[in-house]
Amino acid sequence: MTIQRSAVVRLIALCVGLCIVQVIWAAQPNIKAAPLWLPLTRDELHDPAMTELKLLQNPGEALSILPRDGSGNQVNWVKALEKGYIRPHVNLRSNTNIKVLDLDVLLRNTGEMDMVLFPHKQHTEWLACSNCHEEIFKSKAGANKFGMFEILNGEYCGRCHSSVAFSLTECKRCHNVPRPPIVISPDTR
């Protein structure tokens, strides 16, 4: 497997950046937090001179009632769905039923990190299976060979995570199953 240098640099920068942020916040606990959501006129995505902008709802107004999260866009979308704040549709036809798949898949090939228990339920409450299968992920067990380098490059899980889903900066959100301890038995010869 060829490892792209840019992915390695990004992974190292991400880890170093997280450590620096944690140290800074620990050393200066009274830092005034930035507003969670900037108004559309200041988000550097929308043109503040656009007259139609006043017709749009500002993120702070729209998102402030939803359950909070510590990363990404600061919304815990799974809790928002569970508590009934939102009701996503799989398409524009509101009478289409969502087919929820309550199946967890354990990903063991995670190097020294804890294993990943992938919850299909939380994903299929939002998305049709065809959003991920067969283009991004093959349905056959063992057919998907990927790691953090690919994910950080926007492939596999990285298609959504760190853009529209929670950020990749909280490892334990995915790496959530501890590895069993390795037991070495004494030689009985």
Per-residue pLDDT tens digits of the chain, which is 189 residues long? 455 555 555 555 555 444 443 433 444 444 344 567 889 999 888 999 999 999 999 999 989 999 998 777 788 889 999 999 998 876 777 677 778 999 999 999 999 999 999 999 999 988 888 889 999 999 999 999 999 999 999 999 999 987 778 888 889 999 999 998 888 888 755
Instruction: For residue 150, tell me if it sits in a domain.
Output: yes
- Strands 104-107 and 175-177 turn out to be unpaired
pLDDT the model gives residue 165:
83
Quickly tell me which residue has 């600061």 as its tokens: 74
Residue 175 bridge partners (DSSP): 116
Instruction: For residue 20, tell me if it sits in a domain.
Output: no
Helix (H, G, I), strand (E, B) or coil at 104: strand
Number of domains forming the structure of the chain? 1
Instruction: For residue 142, tell me if it sits in a domain.
Output: yes
Quickly tell me which residue has 């009934």 as its tokens: 84
What's the CA angle centered on 142, arms 138 and 145, to 5 degrees? 75
Instruction: For residue 86, tell me if it sits in a domain.
Output: yes
CATH number where 93 lies? 3.90.10.10
What six digits make up the tokens of 177? 């199953």
Give me the long-range contacts of 177-182 (CB less than 8 A, separation at least 24): 177/106, 177/114, 177/115, 177/116, 177/117, 178/114, 178/115, 179/114, 179/115
Helix ranges restricted to H, 28-134:
59-63, 77-82, 120-124
8-state DSSP, 10: H
What six digits make up the tokens of 42? 């200041």
Domain hosting 94: range is 67-177
Instruction: For residue 56, tell me if it sits in a domain.
Output: no
